[in-house]
């Protein structure tokens, strides 16, 4: 039976993170400890991630950030994607720099790109990979995981293989939606509509959170008002107009801040005030809007925390296999 890093740690009387540091040839390990761990690794034939990496030394101090080009298969607002992705990349760069690592970005759009990623690992051009937006590509991701590469996957689905060489980071999308809807309910609203995302994990989970809060409040499911915005500004504007025209909506929870801004624009175009005639709350907390005077009530799933956790995980400075980044309500003046 294959020995695990936890068992190596117990035999050497060290922490699992120390084993990871030895495996990755980090300099901040006492030589005596390194020697003890390596003796056990060699004795039991432990093969973490890539045996060649252990024998030949540490890979490049470069982390590959892979982003799945979602809009190729499904319509999506590219500006929304770009802003979120650029914010995340900026934080990943800042966190990696603390450890002397650099970030390279690779956009995946076809099957041949996975071969390129595999070759980067095999050639030790990179020390690890952070994968974003691969929910619909878990088969391909699992194939890379099965080859023992050092990987972190942000918001994977439940089919991801759980092995020593991969860690999953989960955003509390359902909890974020629940907090947003609960906030509107606590303000006394009962006619709360939802402008939903699309079929991705974040959209599905945020819809679940909305439904959970409304169900707990005893709201009849048949009376719920839900329109698809699909993380698209124009579709969200149209959805908001339809909801507001019904005259049966007191508040709107939109699955993203961009969608919430579109709903605000629709309300204003219809002569409605926000707040006042209608309360609107978003999700993701894009603080950039505050720079132009829009203080949107929203729920934050902190990008900085996601980035820090991802970098720490890919460098094996954190040894948990799964992490959750908590959602936090941010009160503005739109609800």
Q: pTM, whole model, 2 decimals?
A: 0.75
Q: Are 231 and 74 in contact (CB under 8 A)?
A: no
* Nearest-10 crossing angle of helices 201-216, 173-186: 30
**What is each CA distance from 13 to 7, 34, 36, 267, in whole angstroms?**
10, 12, 10, 63
Q: Which of 36-40, 161-165, 166-170, 291-295 is least confident?
A: 291-295
**DSSP assignment letter at 297:** B
Mean pLDDT of the chain: 86
How confident is residue 167, by pLDDT bands cut at 50, 70 and 90? very high
- Among the listed residues 238, 232, 229, 227, the one whose alpha carbon sits nearest the alpha carbon of residue 269: 238
pLDDT one-digit tens code per residue, 249-258: 999 999 999 9
Taking the C-alpha atoms of residue 202 and residue 223, their distance in angstroms, rounded to an integer, is 24
Taking the C-alpha atoms of residue 197 and residue 298, their distance in angstroms, rounded to an integer, is 15
Q: Beta strands 298-300 and 328-330: pairing type?
A: antiparallel
Residues linked to residue 132 through DSSP beta bridges, in sequence order: 67, 154
**DSSP assignment letter at 50:** -
Is residue 82 within a helix (H) or strand (E), and if so which, with residue range? helix 78-97
Q: Which residue has the higher pLDDT, 156 or 266?
A: 266
pLDDT one-digit tens code per residue, 214-252: 999 999 999 999 999 998 899 999 999 999 999 999 999
């Amino acid at each position: 039976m294959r020995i695990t890093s936890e068992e190596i740690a117990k035999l050497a009387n060290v922490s699992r993170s120390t084993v990871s540091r030895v495996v990755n040839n980090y300099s901040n390990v006492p030589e005596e400890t390194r020697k003890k761990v390596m003796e056990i690794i060699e004795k039991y034939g432990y093969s973490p991630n890539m045996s060649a990496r252990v024998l030949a030394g540490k890979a490049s101090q470069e982390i590959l950030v892979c982003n799945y080009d979602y809009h190729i298969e499904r319509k999506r607002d590219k500006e929304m994607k770009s802003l979120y992705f650029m914010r995340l990349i900026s934080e990943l760069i800042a966190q990696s720099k603390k450890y002397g690592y650099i970030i390279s970005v690779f956009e995946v759009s076809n099957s041949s790109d996975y071969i390129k990623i595999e070759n980067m690992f095999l050639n030790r051009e990179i020390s690890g990979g952070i994968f974003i937006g691969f929910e619909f590509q878990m088969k391909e991701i699992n194939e890379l995981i099965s080859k023992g590469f050092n990987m972190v996957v942000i918001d994977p689905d439940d089919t991801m293989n759980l092995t020593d060489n991969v860690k999953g980071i989960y955003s509390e999308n359902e909890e974020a939606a629940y907090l947003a809807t609960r906030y509107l309910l606590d303000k006394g609203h009962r006619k709360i509509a939802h402008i939903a995302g699309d079929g991705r994990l974040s959209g599905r989970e945020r819809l679940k959170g909305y439904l959970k809060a409304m169900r707990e409040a005893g709201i009849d499911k048949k009376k719920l008002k839900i329109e698809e915005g699909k993380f698209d500004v124009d579709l969200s504007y149209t959805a908001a107009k339809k909801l507001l025209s019904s005259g049966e909506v007191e508040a709107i929870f939109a699955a993203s801040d961009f969608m919430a801004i579109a709903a605000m624009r629709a309300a204003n175009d219809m002569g409605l005030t926000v707040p006042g005639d209608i309360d609107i709350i978003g999700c993701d907390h894009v603080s950039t809007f505050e720079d132009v005077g829009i203080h949107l009530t929203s729920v934050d799933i902190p990008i900085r925390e996601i980035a820090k956790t991802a970098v720490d995980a890919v460098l094996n400075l954190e040894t948990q296999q799964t992490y959750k980044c908590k959602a936090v309500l941010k009160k503005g003046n739109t609800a």
